[in-house]
Structure 1
Amino acid sequence: MGRPGYPRPAARSRLVALPGLLALILALLASPALAQSRLAGGMPGALPVDGVLTPDGPKISWTDATPKFAGSVEVSRRPLGANGTASWQVIAPGLGPVQAYLDRTATDGTAWEYRVRRFGREVVDQGYWTGGRDVATPDHRGLAVLVIEDAIAAPLAAEIDRFTDDLTGDGWLVRHLSSPAARDEQGPVRLLSALELKSALRQHRADHPDGDMAIILLGRVPMVASGLVAPDGHKRMPHSTDLFYADLDQRWPATAEGLLTPHQIPDGRIEAMIGRIDLSNMGALDRETELDWLRDYLTRNHDWRHGRMGDLRNGYAAHANHLFVEHHGLAAIIGKTAITEGGHAQAGQQGQWLFGLDFGPAGGDAYFNDFSANPVFAINFGSHKQKIARFRNPMNALMTPPNGALAVAWGGRPAWRLHGMAMGETIGAAQMRSVNNGPARGNDLSTTDYLPTGRYPFLHPIWGNLLGDPTLRAFPIQPPGPVTSRPEADGQRITWQASPQPGARYRVYRLAETGPTQLLAETPDHAAGVLDPDGTEDSRYMVRTLAPLDVPAGSLMTLSQGRFTD
């Protein structure tokens, strides 16, 4: 990895002027103390924060801090999902040189996000943790738009239908868009296709404004490039960005050659999580092999959602000097004692893992010829990997058989904030938290939600892409068995086979043709059937397991994938 860089204005350049915030970042990059636990131009060091749920409430600790004690400590709290520094409530304004805090006022049913700051003579650092008791999975998550390359719709019809059911069964209202295979077209043609797609995405959001929005690109959907940046410290160049689609409320200027010009997200925010499932740059010998790889991915995705890979509570991590923020986030998800030292080429090939963090091998061929790794979620940091259009990109390699990942990000520059996944958030929510992180007021880094942003103060990256499915989350539970519906004199009787999940209860839904599913009933644990007095033989139903689940950061009341009457 080299020293990261941004573009210098050129006399005849068509690019936008360098924003004031980037000028600040360039100045901060000159500070050799930035990677240390010191205040440098408003950038604090990273504090490893841990936590555990006690009978009296969440207990937050920072016993791994260096140094152990540093002046005064401030603890703040807010509901997970809130944003903006004004949303933090200081609950312990001046604790003195301590290493833990017990929050006795945290109410059950809420995922609480904590920020711990330490202020000392030579040390200013901060870190984050999230936890809670009996935190519920939402019945309805929002809108998921599945953008499908038109040439794969027929050969992958069965897998796409199953994937659509899986998204529906996780609480998403699903809509489909068809896209031409314009990924490899000339710049202006590709950009025109991308603009048409973005317009359709905006319309879907306008039609369904409630909840979150997820965009999933399946196949050779147009890939656009923007800016002239070098986050890995190499040559400044345009970077492929799917975030163009997720920035629903902004127009991105472009050149006549079809290149977008912004070096950062124009207004600093994306309005949707977005992921790309596209293995066309991985060197398949023919299109059928590429389709087989996509089938394999969608099957593994289905198996993970339905709990068939097990209740994974493990992770591996290497190169903590580059990925220390992600390492702290992984500790929040699985607990710091469950992290194994090692990388994709070492620990990653030793069984199945929930998460893997590494500055992995630079060459894509290594992931096929030398080893195969099997984390469900992964960070694969390193030079050139963020350039997702490159042939045999090592991030995409982790999702291509014989490797087994389902979602991969670059991380590091800026760091990905993963800690919300400890309480049931999606990997796409982590993407939005990381990409949208930045100052609320001008160039004032003290108004940035999450600091530090890694070893360098990168903000609002156009290269903050996610490869894979953004709607995936940790800790899936076992769904019920097959679901049936039969007519009775007073309605439709819905029955199902019990789930093996301990403590299972069930929620029963009637599917709507145009809107979210309708919750009909929540059953006690001994029930295996309900009556819908308004149902007909044409009604379609879904049943989800509802069960308590202890996780390292607390406890969840979590919902399984839905099982359907067909």
Structure 2
Amino acid sequence: MKYFYPVLLLLLGSVSLLAQSNDQLRSVQLEATVGSNEITLSWDDAVTPVNNITVFRREVTGEENGWGTALATLDTFALEYLDATVLPNVLYEYRVVRPGPENITGYGYLFTGIELPSPVQRGVLLLVVEDSLFAELTPEIERYRQDARADGWRVKTLLVSADTTDVAVKAAIAELYDQEPEQRHTLFLLGHVPVPYSGNLYPDGHTNHEGAWPADGFYADLDGNWTDQTVNNTVANGTRNDNVPGDGKWDQSSIPSSLELEIGRVDFHNLPQFSETATELTRAYLDKNHAFRRGIIEIPHRGLIENNFASFAEGFGQNGLKNFATMVGRDSTRYLDYNTLKTESYLLSYGCGGGNFQGAGGIANTTAMANDSFQSVFTFLFGSYFGDWDAQNNFLRASLGSGTVLATAWAGRPNWALHPMGLGATIGFCAKRTQNNEGFSYIPGFGNRGVHVALLGDPTLRMHIVKPPQQLTATENEDGILIEWTAGEADNIEGYHLYKFNQGSGEYTRITQTPTPELSYLDACPTTGEDLQYLVKTIRLESSPSGTFYNESHGAEVEILPMIEREVTTAFTFTTNAGEVQFTDQSENANVYNWDFGDGNGSNEASPLHTYTSSGTYLARLIANNFCTVDSSEQTVQVIISDLAGFDELGARVFPNPVISGQLYISLPPGIEPESLELLDATGQVRWRAAAESNGNYRIATEDFPGGMYVLKMHLKGQSYVRKIMIIK
């Protein structure tokens, strides 16, 4: 199928009031302020509506398509809407439709919520790297992998040759995806990973550029039917765009099914306008990527727009205007010369003008990107030809080699949906929603679902950066692993979350239930002899023009090898002396004890002395722990108590037995001076104890004792003597 688009021609003049007018007519610049249970939308007054304004709302589930019935219909003078039917911790998306003059309708979109929680895990990052590049940049790529893990990604790395086929690369990607298809997957192509070509299209409107365009979406669509049988077109000026059956270039001009993966690419291949090699440019990109993620590069949250296509009613600048309002605010979005970025920093920027492969009129060109330093992180560009980004010295790819630029896209055909970034989403998330947009969610303009729609840059990037903790240390003591740090961020801090690397799942798991306000944390149960890796993340409640959400920094990392053994091993011994049994703990690493003597009694002492009141066989059990691990041990104890032996051998008299009168008498021979003399009930409780001094004669009043079996126990010269006593009521 062949697609036709209006030709892009340059209207000279760097900032045009007509361009702004078209952008404004196509845009509704939304912001949101939130309360505990309400959301207030507001928008600009740049356009006077000719009919009622309508507001739509839906919950974001990942499967939404379309908007349903309008939530509210407002008069033409309305500039805000209060929605009191919302709940905290729920992600909502709004659409506001404003009919304007000249039969042009403006649309605005907004992700919003009230104190949305921060994600514990972000998903699986499939990092596909050109193998020769990996060999030269192993330290930088490993640092990137660590940064991604510190941001909640589980990283899987695939090395591929630039000389292999796109079919082979896709098969390897699909194999990794199929291991856990229920997870969110983001695909980052780093280096000159083979470039798929597809279609018979010319979205810039130039028939001399008709044919196959680069189509990275091929890698992200795992179940679509891609064919190489029908397109037969060689009309383009360059053979690179030729597409004939069986040449390895695909037929599809639109993606055959929605993409399963988010995808982005960084590829500095074939940019001779730069003095640096592709390897050196990639190293510089990874360096500034790291610096931005960690808050070392600080860029003001503001947006810049230059639209040199004033005569186009498409209003290409809407890609900046309506998106940037939700991300940095209406008052922080300005129409300025794109070259302002050479001297001033803007987190977001948009520039469009009549183009060629190496530049956009009135914006910049590849030479400027190579020689100057443009200070913007997310820059979106549009113009003829350079949307075909695999050409030599391509302007779009070249922008990634300049200044602080980390991501770019050919935004205008179609329009991009970047507003989720205002509430913490990644640019890869926005790219996928743009690529899959059938027109039911967002008004796309020309070219929606085209195979040419692509993100150049790291798809895991997000715009809100919190500085991670500093000077992280981990030390071991008897109580566990003490982790300490200093604050990296001072403003609006809720506290810190701690994570520990899980060897089984290959990802960090959160070990704090709520953010800790302290600058230290004790992990009381480390595993001995195994390298432990911890992350500490700063938590901030972000308040953006889109709403409020909890935002985590990248984690500061520390590693330690615990050497103190904390595994509990329970053991004990015992000695018996008639009914008296001395238990001796021989456990290792335990400090909490729970004894069960098998006769209904127990103890929490480490090595208790227990007196059994009856002969028999008892199962004694010890459960020991240290609040980290627990173990148990049990042994059989044989107790033999003679009724007559002991006291009679000493010539002692104990009478009457049984006791009926309420009085028990004890008479010891002269010279017998016991260390202790006690009467115990059946539970082992001491009911009577002899005074320290006596003449060997004792009287025990038993009137208040319950009836039952008792034991009279005497310690004398290291020996124990017992006698059963029966009290009858």
TM range (shorter): 0.7 to 0.9
Deviations 1:506-546 (A, max 9, x none): 11111123433211114421242231414344121111111
CA 1:370 to 1:306, structure 2 compared with 1: closer, same or farther past 3 Å? Answer: closer
> Could you say which residue in structure 2 is the equivalent of 1:449?
441
Aligned equivalents of 1:416, 1:257: Cα separation in 2: 31
> Could you say which residue in structure 1 is the equivalent of 2:29?
49
CA 1:285 to 1:233, structure 2 compared with 1: closer, same or farther past 3 Å? Answer: closer
Aligned equivalents of 2:330, 2:43: Cα separation in 1: 12
| Contact 2:480-2:522 at 8 Å conserved across structures | no
Whose Rg is larger?
2
Asked if 1:341 corresponds to 2:335, the answer is yes
Among residues 121, 124, 127, which one is paired with 1:140 in the alignment? 121
- Please tell me the residue identity of whatever aligns with 2:26: A
- Unaligned runs of 5+ residues in structure 1 are 1-5, 8-21, 30-34, 39-44, 183-189, 440-447
> Could you say which residue in structure 1 is the equivalent of 2:80?
100
- Please tell me the residue identity of whatever aligns with 2:490: Q
Asked if 1:200 corresponds to 2:191, the answer is no
Asked if 1:531 corresponds to 2:511, the answer is no
The TM-score, its normalising length taken from structure 2, stands at 0.65
Q: How does 1:511-530 map to 2 (within 5 A)?
A: 511-513=501-503, 514-521=505-512, 522-530=514-522
Deviations 1:252-288 (A, max 9, x none): 1123211111010012x111111111111211778x7
Deviations 1:351-405 (A, max 9, x none): 322111001674344324674312100101111111111111111111114x321
User: Per-residue deviation at 1:312?
Assistant: 2.7
- Please tell me the residue identity of whatever aligns with 1:96: D
Aligned equivalents of 2:183, 2:522: Cα separation in 1: 28
User: Per-residue deviation at 1:350?
Assistant: 2.1
Q: How does 1:69-108 map to 2 (within 5 A)?
A: 69-80=49-60, 82-86=62-66, 88=68, 90-92=70-72, 94-97=73-76, 98-108=78-88
| Structure with the higher helix share, 1 or 2 | 1
Q: How many residues align?
A: 507
The TM-score, its normalising length taken from structure 1, stands at 0.83
| Contact 2:55-2:71 at 8 Å conserved across structures | yes
- Please tell me the residue identity of whatever aligns with 2:429: A
> Which secondary structure state, in structure 2, belongs to the residue aligned with residue 280 of structure 1?
coil
> Could you say which residue in structure 1 is the equivalent of 2:204?
232
User: Per-residue deviation at 1:36?
Assistant: 13
Asked if 1:505 corresponds to 2:495, the answer is yes
User: Per-residue deviation at 1:449?
Assistant: 1.1
> Could you say which residue in structure 2 is the equivalent of 1:63?
44
> Which secondary structure state, in structure 2, belongs to the residue aligned with residue 207 of structure 1?
coil
- Please tell me the residue identity of whatever aligns with 2:351: D
Aligned equivalents of 2:465, 2:143: Cα separation in 1: 17
Aligned equivalents of 2:195, 2:251: Cα separation in 1: 15
Among residues 298, 301, 304, which one is paired with 1:313 in the alignment? 301
CA 1:120 to 1:294, structure 2 compared with 1: closer, same or farther past 3 Å? Answer: closer
Aligned equivalents of 1:172, 1:369: Cα separation in 2: 32
- Please tell me the residue identity of whatever aligns with 2:131: D
Aligned equivalents of 1:50, 1:266: Cα separation in 2: 33
CA 1:311 to 1:211, structure 2 compared with 1: closer, same or farther past 3 Å? Answer: farther
Asked if 1:302 corresponds to 2:290, the answer is yes
User: Per-residue deviation at 1:61?
Assistant: 2.9
| Contact 1:115-1:127 at 8 Å conserved across structures | yes
| Structure with the higher strand share, 1 or 2 | 2
> Could you say which residue in structure 2 is the equivalent of 1:10?
none
Aligned equivalents of 2:40, 2:222: Cα separation in 1: 39
CA 1:325 to 1:222, structure 2 compared with 1: closer, same or farther past 3 Å? Answer: same
Aligned equivalents of 1:209, 1:470: Cα separation in 2: 19
| Contact 1:409-1:465 at 8 Å conserved across structures | yes
Aligned equivalents of 2:274, 2:448: Cα separation in 1: 39
User: Per-residue deviation at 1:144?
Assistant: 0.3
Aligned equivalents of 2:259, 2:293: Cα separation in 1: 26
> Which secondary structure state, in structure 2, belongs to the residue aligned with residue 486 of structure 1?
strand
- Please tell me the residue identity of whatever aligns with 1:463: H
| Contact 1:111-1:423 at 8 Å conserved across structures | no
Among residues 426, 439, 452, which one is paired with 1:463 in the alignment? 452
Please provide the CA RMSD for this pair.
2.7
CA 1:238 to 1:538, structure 2 compared with 1: closer, same or farther past 3 Å? Answer: same
| Contact 2:306-2:337 at 8 Å conserved across structures | yes
> Could you say which residue in structure 2 is the equivalent of 1:127?
108
> Which secondary structure state, in structure 2, belongs to the residue aligned with residue 168 of structure 1?
helix
Deviations 1:319-353 (A, max 9, x none): 17322143211111001111122243x22212322
User: Per-residue deviation at 1:83?
Assistant: 4.4
User: Per-residue deviation at 1:311?
Assistant: 5.5
Asked if 1:175 corresponds to 2:156, the answer is yes
| Contact 2:127-2:187 at 8 Å conserved across structures | yes
> Could you say which residue in structure 2 is the equivalent of 1:478?
467
Aligned equivalents of 2:280, 2:250: Cα separation in 1: 33
CA 1:62 to 1:465, structure 2 compared with 1: closer, same or farther past 3 Å? Answer: same
Among residues 267, 281, 284, which one is paired with 1:278 in the alignment? 267
> Could you say which residue in structure 2 is the equivalent of 1:410?
410
> Could you say which residue in structure 2 is the equivalent of 1:393?
394
Aligned equivalents of 1:546, 1:310: Cα separation in 2: 18
Aligned equivalents of 2:370, 2:418: Cα separation in 1: 30
> Which secondary structure state, in structure 2, belongs to the residue aligned with residue 540 of structure 1?
strand
Among residues 540, 552, 558, which one is paired with 2:545 in the alignment? 552
| Contact 2:56-2:67 at 8 Å conserved across structures | no
Q: How does 1:106-125 map to 2 (within 5 A)?
A: 106-118=86-98, 124-125=105-106
| Contact 1:137-1:424 at 8 Å conserved across structures | no
| Contact 1:72-1:120 at 8 Å conserved across structures | no
| Contact 1:69-1:99 at 8 Å conserved across structures | no
Among residues 224, 249, 264, which one is paired with 1:259 in the alignment? 249
Aligned equivalents of 1:105, 1:290: Cα separation in 2: 53
- Please tell me the residue identity of whatever aligns with 2:41: I
User: Per-residue deviation at 1:150?
Assistant: 0.9
Aligned equivalents of 1:108, 1:318: Cα separation in 2: 37
- Please tell me the residue identity of whatever aligns with 2:408: V
| Contact 1:342-1:348 at 8 Å conserved across structures | no
| Contact 1:493-1:530 at 8 Å conserved across structures | yes
CA 1:357 to 1:368, structure 2 compared with 1: closer, same or farther past 3 Å? Answer: closer
CA 1:372 to 1:500, structure 2 compared with 1: closer, same or farther past 3 Å? Answer: closer
Aligned equivalents of 1:340, 1:366: Cα separation in 2: 26
Comparing 47-56 and 502-511, the one that deviates more? 47-56
